[in-house]
Amino acid sequence: MNDHNTTSGRFGTVASQGAQRNKVLSNTYRLLALSMIPTVLGAWVGVQTGITAGLTGFMGLIVFLGGAFGFMYAIEKTKNSAAGVPVLLGFTFFMGLMLSRMLAMVLGFKNGTDLVMTAFGGTAFIFFVMSNLSMVIKRDLSQMGKWLFVGALAIMVAAVINVFIGSTAMTAAIATLAIVVFSLFLLHDLKRIVDGGETNYISATLGVYLSLFNVFQSLLALLGIFGGDRE
């Protein structure tokens, strides 16, 4: 009888953990979808008003990093409260606003709309692939996080340097590396949710959103550099 109760208890615990993981994953996908609305709105406002057009060079970098890290700090502080979701959505509006300068440049090409849609489709495809891989890969990928962090840090340093150099070739190299690193970050973060390593859906959404944002932005940069039609 005791053995039966122990077995039943273990089964119940496993089932409960599985239900919790599914709930976090489901809530993450829902909030991620919702976060696209303020992102698109922020990008639209930025393109229509040109409010970010003057944020070039070092000043643009300071505004972007200051705003992004300020929002991420606020999200971390409010992720367990009712304010967590509004703060996250405010962050995604800000990120859309910051993206608008690049969008305006790409839309200035004759084939700009096609380039934006291609970047969107490529990002969606990467998300689809990494989402499915996170479900089928059985290996623990948690150790991959520290190497990806180093890669992300290297990208940030290179981007800061390129603000002063202004090299198109370096921009392309940074964008290519960013697509690889943040695609793997996407897999890492989704796998953490699937494995139960991430239990807060707001934090989970933030991680996944940042990866998707960087992949989209990098694809857009590459398409603008190599596929932009100025005629």
Least confident interval from 7-11, 21-25, 147-151, 154-158: 7-11
* Residue 11: predicted pLDDT: 45
Residue 43 token pair: 């990008």
Measured CA to CA, the distance from residue 35 to residue 205 in angstroms comes to 9
Higher-confidence position of 18 and 144:
144
- What Å distances lie between residue 160 and 67, 111, 179, 210, 213, CA to CA? 16, 29, 18, 18, 18
Per domain, the residue ranges of the chain are 2-34+101-227
Mean pLDDT calculated for residue range 53-66? 79
Question: What's the rounded Cα separation, in Å, for the pair 170 and 159?
Answer: 9
Mean pLDDT for the chain overall: 88
Whole-number Å distance between alpha carbons of 13 and 193: 17
Please indicate, yes or no, whether the overall pTM of this predicted structure exceeds 0.85.
yes
Residue given tokens 């150790």 in the structure block: 143
The answer to whether the CB of 182 falls within 8 A of the CB of 154 is: no
Q: What is the pLDDT of residues 103-160, one digit of tens each?
A: 999 999 999 999 999 999 999 999 999 999 998 988 888 888 889 999 999 999 999 8
Query: Does the pLDDT at position 87 exceed 60?
Result: yes
Out of 50-59, 137-146, 179-188, 205-214, pick the least confident. 50-59
The token pair at 35 is: 């976060």
- CA–CA separation, 126 vs 139, rounded Å? 20
Exposed, middle or buried, 146 (CB in 10 Å: 0-12/13-18/19+)?
Answer: exposed
